[in-house]
Amino acid sequence: MRLVIDRDVPVPMRDGVVLRADVYRPDTSRPLPALLQRTPYDKGSSAGGRSLNWMRLVEAGYCLVVQDVRGRYASGGVFRPFADDARDGRDTVEWAARQSWCDGAIGMIGRSYEGAAQWHAAAAAPAALRAVAPHVAAADPYEGWTYLGGAFQLGFCLHWVLGDLLHGQVERAGGDAADVRAVAEALDGIDQLYRAPWRALPLLDRLAPYYREWLEHPEPDAHWRGLAAAPRGPRPPALVVGGWYDVFLPGTLRGPSPRPGDQLLIGPWSHCVTGGVFPERRYGLRADEAEFDMTAAHLAFFDRHVKGMAGEAGPPVRVFASGADRWVRPAGPPGADSSPLALHLGGDGDARTRHGSGVLRLEPPRREGTDVYRYDPRDPVPTAGGATCMTGMLVGADCGPLDQRAVEDRSDVLCYTGPPLDAPLVVSGRVVAELYVSSSAPDTDFTAKLVDVYPDGRAEILCDGVVRIGHRARLDGVRPPAPDTVHALAVAAGTVVHVFRPGHRVRLEVSSSNFPRFDPNPNTGGTPLTLADAPVVTAVNRVHHGPGRPSRLLLPLSPGLPDAHDAA
């Protein structure tokens, strides 16, 4: 096939700003449908991203349009994350549909920010947009992107801005040598910067003023509502792709309401690890995106919804079940066929560390108990894998299913562990820790982490979450509880499809920090912007359990996995 590539094609927006795109298309006079990818990461090197083979898309009879979003690389205007993507996405879709090489039908592709840009374009409802395929992305830039449970996602946000949005772009945007050097030094020293992130603010105020805006709005207020992808009417069908260890999975699963034609695909991937191979865990060849053939999945979806080709629709849901380590095709999304299994927290009052007395039981404990630990923001619990996207070797060394035993040896981590299982335990859906807690501080965090404990002691993280007490109270429209007041708190620990094998044990970790994934709560009611000026205090935090305070772990118990589908 002969290929035509048009570089830096001007795409005028209705406010007069000109964005630029590269167009890859078959050398034919026949108009074809187009796939649009809007990226902040340089259109010249982003076609298809790491997940799709752009040449196969073109060979399959699509024109591929890869555009720099407003204010990035070759495009004009000022980059304001999420703020202009609905209008610009709509204008670009309508522009592409009018071109002589396009037959008027448009689909959208892309991962991460490119996926969020798809949700924004879909919310603007351009008539020519027939389908979208947001990949490891979220429609809400607040919950599950910048914040989670009220805690600022420091590890991701600072790395994203310095490493992906500024590094390599400052010089192109006309920045001076001092700024280029300052960004490189900040990125090289990000581990130290995480401990004093306010030191980066003067640099970020100059080069990325939106970062301070994120910090100035720690609650889901009008600022964030103005940046969210809010559908104005019917939207096109979506192929939604997520990863069990992707930092955006909560936002992926909280996306716009499902509609007919949607498909959901979740694999054993993180934001940047797509081969199913992590530092301490291999899920097998079929877990690799390349072996799965992500390009073929997209083509089948777009052939149906963009080209209008007849044929059997793909399965509405495909997920990789960890523990069983195979793909399954359930009838609905995770949790659709599950019922809650309550495992009650208990012990003799010292659940600190994995060597403590904390237990999980089916039967509620007969007597009251309390587990106590001290949380010092100056010595937070270190992040050990999970759904992270931070600094590290190809941002993959510090994510995914890592062993938690070093973390569980800390005295500020409570561990509640069930007995060895006699039979497989299949869980599918949202995991929630319903805790009765109290704190000596006016504000603090509580974290919850679900762990699969192997017969040899390996403690593999499955999912985790956090709740900032003051944030939760404000969402509920009440005052934060007074210090030392016992109150109920639900901590959403994430979503899984997992099989605990015979001989394995279920463990719940409870603590008050996960650093640098989340900014440490100073325990004073302060925000990320006050950390440089206000002192922090140590909190004495308690988890209560017993007949009157029934703290428990709710697991979404599934009746079993569907039949195996070796070919995903």
DSSP assignments along 78-133, one per residue: ---TTTTHHHHHHHHHHHHHHSTTEEEEEEE--BTHHHHHHHHHHHT--TTEEEE-
pLDDT of amino acid 566: 46
pLDDT of amino acid 393: 62
pLDDT of amino acid 567: 44
- Cα first-last separation, the chain: 29
Query: From the CB of residue 6, how many other CB atoms can be counted at a distance below 10 Å?
Result: 14
What's the rounded Cα separation, in Å, for the pair 248 and 242? Answer: 8
Asked whether 297 and 60 are in contact (CB, 8 A), the reply is no
Print burial letters for 81-107: b (CB count within 10 Å at least 16), e (below 16): bbbbbbbbbbbbbbbbbebebbbebbb
What's the rounded Cα separation, in Å, for the pair 151 and 300? Answer: 39
Asked whether 330 and 516 are in contact (CB, 8 A), the reply is no
pLDDT of amino acid 312: 72
Task: List, by residue number, the catalytic residues.
Answer: 112, 246, 271
What's the rounded Cα separation, in Å, for the pair 39 and 88? Answer: 12
Q: How is residue 212 written in tokens?
A: 């301070």
Tens-digit pLDDT profile for residues 426-476: 999 999 999 999 999 999 999 999 999 999 999 999 999 999 999 999 999
Q: What is the pLDDT along the chain (568 residues), one digit of tens a residue?
A: 899 999 999 999 999 999 999 999 999 999 999 999 999 999 999 999 989 999 999 999 999 999 999 999 999 999 999 999 999 999 999 999 999 999 999 999 999 999 999 999 999 999 999 999 999 999 999 999 999 999 999 999 999 999 999 998 887 767 789 999 999 999 999 999 999 999 999 999 999 999 999 999 999 999 999 999 977 778 999 999 999 999 999 999 998 888 899 999 999 999 999 999 999 999 999 999 999 999 999 999 999 999 999 877 779 999 999 999 999 999 999 999 999 999 999 999 999 999 999 999 999 999 999 999 999 999 999 999 999 999 876 677 889 999 999 999 999 999 999 999 999 999 999 999 999 999 999 999 999 999 999 999 999 999 999 999 999 999 999 999 999 999 999 999 999 999 999 999 999 999 999 999 999 999 998 877 776 777 899 999 999 999 999 999 999 999 998 865 544 5
Question: In a 3-state reduction of DSSP, which class is residue 222?
Answer: helix
Q: What mean pLDDT value characterizes the chain?
A: 94
Asked whether 528 and 438 are in contact (CB, 8 A), the reply is no
Residue 214: C-alpha distances to residues 75, 151, 198, 314 (Å) = 24, 12, 13, 39
For 143: left if phi > 0, alpha if psi spans -120 to 50, otherwise beta; the answer is: beta
The answer, as to whether pTM is greater than 0.85, is yes
Domains in the chain, CATH or no CATH each? 3-143+234-314 (3.40.50.1820), 151-217 (no CATH), 339-557 (2.60.120.260)
Question: In a 3-state reduction of DSSP, which class is residue 499?
Answer: strand
What's the rounded Cα separation, in Å, for the pair 189 and 204? Answer: 15
